[in-house]
Amino acid sequence: MPFVPHTEDEVREMLATIGVGSVDDLFAEISADMRPKSFDIPEGLSEMEVLSKLEALAAKNATDSVSFLGAGFYDHYIPAAVDALTMRGEFYTAYTPYQPEASQGTLQAIFEYQTAVARLLGMDCANASVYDGGTALYEATMMAVRKTKRRKIVVSEALNPIYRVMLGSYTTNLDVDLVTIPHKDGQTDIEGLKAALDDSTAAVLVQNPNFFGSVNDLTELFAAAKAVKAVSIMSVYPVLQTLLKTPGEMGADIAVAEGQSLGLPLSFGGPYLGIMTCTKTMVRQMPGRIVGRTTDTNGRTGYVLTLQAREQHIRRQRATSNICSNQSLCALRALVHICALGEMGLKRVARVSMERAHICAERLTAIPGVEMLTKGSFGNEFAVTLPVNAFEAIDKLTERGYVPGFPLGRYFEGLENGLLVACTEKTSEEQIGIFAEMLRGALK
Amino acid sequence: MKTIFEQSVAGREGCWPCEGMAEEAYIPKDMLREGNIGLPSVSELDVVRHFTRLSQLNYSVDSNFYPLGSCTMKYNPKFTEVAAGLPGFTRLHPVLPQLRGAGGLCQGALEVMYEIERLLCEITGMAAYTMHPMAGAHGELTGVMLMAAYHRDKGNKKTKVIVPDSAHGTNPASAAIAGFEIVSVESKDGIVDPAALEKVLDDEVAGMMMTCPNTLGLFEKNLPEVVRMLRKVDALLYYDGANLNAIMGKMRVGDVGFDIVHWNVHKTLATPHGGGGPGSGPVGVSERLVDYLPVSRVRKREDGQFFLDYDFPKSIGYVAPFYGNFGVYLKAYAYILRLGGAGLTRASENAVLAANYMRKRLSSHFEVPYNRTCMHEFVISATPQAHKGVHALDFAKGLLDRGYHAPTIYFPLIVPEALMIEPTETENKETLDKFCDDLIELAELVDTNPEALTSAPVNLPVTRLDETKAARSMELTDDL
């Protein structure tokens, strides 16, 4: 039987030590009326058979398509060192570092991760990560509610719609009011957001670049939030954060991000990485694991899980959050990815991705009837309006191996002709050319 | 060890995935960040050495016995990594199926989701599953949200959730975060006492969260009565699947009357924990909760094609951006396929055998507060030793010095000086024996050389760390 090492003799010896006649005797407390009504699970397969089955399933997925899909989740190149190092069993098969002396590797890596993401977002501190970017945004919102003891949340509609629906689900049973300020033709409505702020506002939630790819300066909005003592929360795309003015520079109190683009494969939606950073004044409201630096009895530097008094195993129902794990291995991947690329490498990825997107936008808008929807500056993603329903164009191109982007009509009424297009450093100029020609043909 | 930031040298080149450096920034100057970020500039070899050395400072299942009670650190078979690493899965963009007709581009992934849900239903006797929750505690929150949706839909006024005193801290935290008031119920002889439950049970109770076997490693044999009592007030019964690995093939929570169950796939289905995550926390429900499950749900058409269905008007909505931690439960799927039904049952049997064997061996030297047949884990107490100045913490550190990860300590809260031990089914008898021998030897040191314990560990990269100082000084990054 796979993975169980005991021989029959050993089982007999163990039963004799326990003082029972059979393994069944150990389950005697499960009475007959509690036994399974059925347990119809197929017979086990060999390792080779399992892998063949999964290879066959994997082959049913069209991963050889050329894709311009982004919508918050991007296909960046991952250096081979990321897999090689993070797959080491000592990292991979360790548990949460409850015994710090035996877990300095994981703890120091988390400390370095906290440092790296705090610097990237220009904030004071970070936690050891949460499940994903959407969870990070929701947890940030709850931090603001606790801190201000207010219930009104002002949300920009130009924030990733997937995160907005998550926020709605999580707050259904809570005494929280979500006030959504509509986007203006794909722009974050900064004036509208400012107008919605008042002294009952707990937080204002914005994204930069916004869902449509548009880049903004939110300094004024955050100043207005500060004036009414509301918390400013900003969601960012970490790769572009190497170039863009940071949440810290704009005056955000909490900054969050989906960390997938830092060394994690797309993997059909997970596992991903929720990056959470904040100012020092907010740190005790932050959920989840946090690592701190300290010293041992000999004065040597070491690392421990710290500020645990906020957590469920101590505070139970009064904890800041129910989250009791983090995405340690994903955070490690992000850290190794950042280190392997280095400061310049990461900036280079951001700039090249941005350049490709601008080339792509130029090629697409040269097609009659295709117009830019995203106004002003954008990074590696932008939206265009097509002369037809975007789904129609997507259908035609996917048939030919090109996935042209995300149909905005899926989440935004009135934008049925809108297509959101993303490029990364993996997108070649040749692919952009073919895409443009295909689209031109499809629209004829 | 120096941090990677301390090793940085300005201008040193790392691994650049692409050539060329676009000069034009496309963004107005006043929207760009200024100066250096402070990320490391190191060579690829610097990175490889640094993280290899860091890894060597860790205990892990691949290198050490990890009898961490309630955490279930069993061996993680290596072939599951190969499965999850297949490019046909890792390269799939999660919004692909949302493009009309594009379910066709990811039939294999949808089939995996469909099949694993069916397997989990059969193992636990539930009507349907959502794979979306991204960790066990996230599954708990999803479960309690389902509870709330059920009562809201029926027009029930329910404000309270009952949680036994032996429960994980996440149980009350999850229920509170979903908006419920928490009512604790005391155990008797280590299990839930129907008489105590009677006292707190009324029409305002939305449900009860139970772990069975519970955190003392004991089977809750009053379950049928508990179920009957809760049904009377239309309260739902939630099963915390943290200890599901003890009962596979022996009991199905759906058959017994539970309405909601979550898994911790890293515990029961051997997906690696990665030093704290990622996890995956699928949630199963009984027939009466199916309508409230999160969207999307994977379905199969008559022609055999799979698609995602979002049309569930009573759904609690999105709890995750997509379909949960696909890469993690893909490993769990491979593991179930490998073991099959008999293998899963055998895993539970051997986990329980190993735990009882160790309990028996250790009972000569430690207090065992509930010294009767246990399930996959058991709790010993160092109370007698504590009277002599050696505490559970000291035993933990003494074990670290001998190359074992320590058991869970000071939990469950209802046992003083608790050491909670869980051997799992994958450790061989030599390891179990050696661990017992070593722990007994430590117990004997209490009378002869207690300092050897109170000053432990001495063989690790650091000695005991000052946690109070860490909380006070708050050095949370290299800068702060």
Could you list the pLDDT tens digit for every one of the 444 residues in chain A?
A: 799 999 999 999 999 999 999 999 999 999 999 999 999 999 999 999 999 999 999 999 988 899 999 999 999 999 999 999 999 999 999 999 999 999 999 999 999 999 999 999 999 999 999 999 999 999 999 999 999 999 999 999 999 999 999 999 999 988 999 999 999 999 999 999 999 999 999 999 999 999 999 999 999 999 999 999 999 999 999 999 999 999 999 999 999 999 999 999 999 999 999 999 999 999 999 999 999 999 999 999 999 999 888 888 888 888 888 998 999 999 999 999 999 999 999 999 999 999 999 999 999 999 999 999 999 999 999 999 999 999 999 999 999 999 999 999 999 999 999 999 999 999 999 999 999 999 999 998
Best B337, B371, B433 residue to mutate vs chain A (most A CBs within 10 Å) = B337
Q: Which residues in B lie closer than 8 A to residue A322 (C-beta atoms)?
A: 137, 140-141, 170, 173-174, 176-177
| CB < 8 Å from B in window 218-277 of A | 241-246, 249, 265-272
> Are the Cβ atoms of A109 and B473 closer than 8 angstroms?
no
Closest chain A CA to residue B356: A18
**Given B1, B397, B477, which is nearest A114 (Cβ)?**
B477
Q: How far apart are CA B109 and CA B386, in angstroms?
A: 54
Q: Which residues in A lie closer than 8 A to residue B463 (C-beta atoms)?
A: 101, 296-298, 300
**Three-state SS across chain B?**
CCCCCCCCCCCCCCCCCCCCCCCCCCCCHHHECCCCCCCCCCCHHHHHHHHHHHHCCECCCCCCCCCECCCCCCCCCCHHHHHHCCHHHHCCCCCHHHCCCHHHHEHHHHHHHHHHHHHHHHHHCCCEEECCCCCHHHHHHHHHHHHHHHHHHHCCCCCEEEEECCCCCHHHHHHHHCCCEEEEECEECCEECHHHHHHHCCCCEEEEEECCCCCCCCCCCCHHHHHHHHHHCCCEEEEEECCHHHCCCCCCHHHHCCCEEEECHHHHCCCCCCCCCCCCCCEEECHHHHHHCCCCEEEECCCCCEEEECCCCCCCCCCCCCCCCHHHHHHHHHHHHHHHHHHHHHHHHHHHHHHHHHHHHHCCCCECCCCCCCCCCEEEECHHHHCCCCCHHHHHHHHHHCCCCCCEECCCCCCCCEEEECCCCCCCHHHHHHHHHHHHHHHHHHHHCCHHHHCCCCCCCCCCECHHHHHHHCCCCCCC
Q: Which residues in A lie closer than 8 A to residue B76 (C-beta atoms)?
A: 92-93
Which two three-digit tokens encode residue B366? Answer: 């430690």
> Are the Cβ atoms of B125 and A47 closer than 8 angstroms?
no
Q: What pLDDT is recorded for position B194?
A: 96
| CB < 8 Å from B in window 344-373 of A | 344-346, 348-349, 351-352, 354-355, 358
Q: Which residues in B lie closer than 8 A to residue A5 (C-beta atoms)?
A: 426-429
Residues of chain B with pLDDT under 50: none
Q: Which residues in A lie closer than 8 A to residue B209 (C-beta atoms)?
A: none
Closest chain B CA to residue A166: B318
Q: What pLDDT is recorded for position B443?
A: 97
**Given A72, A94, A108, which is nearest B60 (Cβ)?**
A94
**Given A103, A116, A311, which is nearest B39 (Cβ)?**
A116
Q: How far apart are CA B22 and CA B448, in angstroms?
A: 71
Q: What pLDDT is recorded for position B480?
A: 61
Residue contacts between A and B (CB atoms, under 8 Å): 696
> Are the Cβ atoms of B464 and A101 closer than 8 angstroms?
yes
Q: How far apart are CA B167 and CA A383, in angstroms?
A: 49
> Are the Cβ atoms of A102 and B352 closer than 8 angstroms?
no
**Given B17, B122, B277, which is nearest A39 (Cβ)?**
B122
* Shortest Cα distance, chain B CAs vs residue A432, angstroms: 17
* Shortest Cα distance, chain B CAs vs residue A81, angstroms: 7
* Shortest Cα distance, chain A CAs vs residue B41, angstroms: 5
Phi/psi for B300 (5° steps) reads: -115, 130
Q: What pLDDT is recorded for position A315?
A: 83
Q: Does A434 touch chain B (CB under 8 A)?
A: no
pTM, 2 dp? 0.97
Q: What pLDDT is recorded for position A314?
A: 80
What are the residues whose beta carbons fall under 8 Å from the beta carbon of A88, sequence distance 6 or more? B51, B52, B55
State whether ipTM is beyond 0.95: yes
**Given A267, A304, A324, which is nearest B326 (Cβ)?**
A267
**Given B24, B92, B136, which is nearest A63 (Cβ)?**
B92
Q: What pLDDT is recorded for position B173?
A: 92
| CB < 8 Å from B in window 272-331 of A | 272, 280, 283, 289-298, 300, 302-304, 306-309, 311-319, 321-330
> Are the Cβ atoms of B145 and A120 closer than 8 angstroms?
no
* Shortest Cα distance, chain A CAs vs residue B198, angstroms: 22
**Given B107, B122, B137, which is nearest A41 (Cβ)?**
B122
Closest chain A CA to residue B267: A95
Cis peptide before A271 (omega within 30 of 0): yes
* Shortest Cα distance, chain A CAs vs residue B453, angstroms: 14
* Shortest Cα distance, chain A CAs vs residue B46, angstroms: 9
Q: How far apart are CA B101 and CA A391, in angstroms?
A: 9
Q: Which residues in B lie closer than 8 A to residue A73 (C-beta atoms)?
A: 93-95
* Shortest Cα distance, chain B CAs vs residue A286, angstroms: 13
> Are the Cβ atoms of B14 and A342 closer than 8 angstroms?
yes
Q: What pLDDT is recorded for position B479?
A: 84
* Shortest Cα distance, chain B CAs vs residue A422, angstroms: 12
| CB < 8 Å from B in window 10-69 of A | 10-11, 13-15, 17-20, 23, 25-31, 33-47, 50-51, 53-63, 65, 67, 69
* Shortest Cα distance, chain A CAs vs residue B133, angstroms: 9
Closest chain B CA to residue A353: B22
